[in-house]
Every structure is written in structure tokens, then in C-alpha cells.
Amino acid sequence: MNSPIILLQEINEEISPTELWEAAKICLKIGKLNQSLTLAYKIVQEDSTQQENYQKHYLEAIELGAEFAEEIGDYPRAAYYWEQMTQHQPNDSNAWYGLGIAKANLRDYQGAERALNQCLQLQPGNSNARSHLLEIQQLLQR
């Protein structure tokens, strides 16, 4: 088996879907989101039965992208990624929480309030979301 890093440079017809998935996962782990998704998309194009695996991988990449964006203070990008997550997984309280925090960091307090309320509807016991929501509601009352 070839090294997954070599696979990134030499994608050809002889590489198995298993090797491509391995390379895509490594790219994801090292923060190469676009390369990771490109490899995953190539797999689906060659084998349509891989669609479910692609969807899971796509969501992992989006969430990781949101987390990376938050870490470097790129809140518009973080909000974009979290919005993508909420569209694909509307019952994911973590995605709504992330969107709420990103919106708050952008000073979009109404958007943050809506997202955190949605998070709390899905996970009423989330004390972090409740605490942030109270802070945001205080800011909105000023």
C-alpha cells in the first residue's frame, strides 16, 4: 500500500477506494479540508454506493472547518460553516451552539439569540448555551 501522503500527489486509477478514504481522513486530520473533500468526492464519483460515507465525511470536514475558523478568529467563516451544519443536521444542538457563539462574536446578537434558543430546544440542559443566551439577552436589552 502506498503512503497516503503520496496518494495526494499521485492520484490515479490504480488507487483503491480504501486508500483514497485513508488519504481523505489524513487530510482532514491535518486541516487540508479542500483536499480531503476532493478525495472523498472522487470516491463517490467512482462508486456511488459510497454516498453515505461521503456525507459523514463532509459533515466532519464542515465541523472541523468551523472549529479551525473559530480558533483563528475568523468568525464569518465559522458562522458560515456552522450554518452549513445546521442546514444538514438541524437536530444537532452542537451546531446550533457553535452558530450562536459565532454570531455573538460577529455582534449579530439577534442571530446568536435565535441559534442558542434552538440549541436549548434540542438540549435543554446545556448550561453553557443558557449562560451565553442570558449574556446576549442582556446585550439586546441595552
Contact 44, 24 (CB under 8 A): no
Q: In terms of residues, how long is the chain? A: 142
What are the structural domains, with CATH classification, of the chain? 1-72 (no CATH), 74-142 (1.25.40.10)
pLDDT tens for residues 47-66? 889 889 889 899 999 999 99
Q: Please state the pTM of the whole predicted model.
A: 0.79
Q: CA 73, CA 104: separation in Å to the nearest integer?
A: 12
Burial 37-47 (b: 16+ CB within 10 A, else e): bebbebbbeee
Q: CA 84, CA 33: separation in Å to the nearest integer?
A: 15
pLDDT tens for residues 70-105? 999 999 999 999 999 999 999 999 999 999 999 999
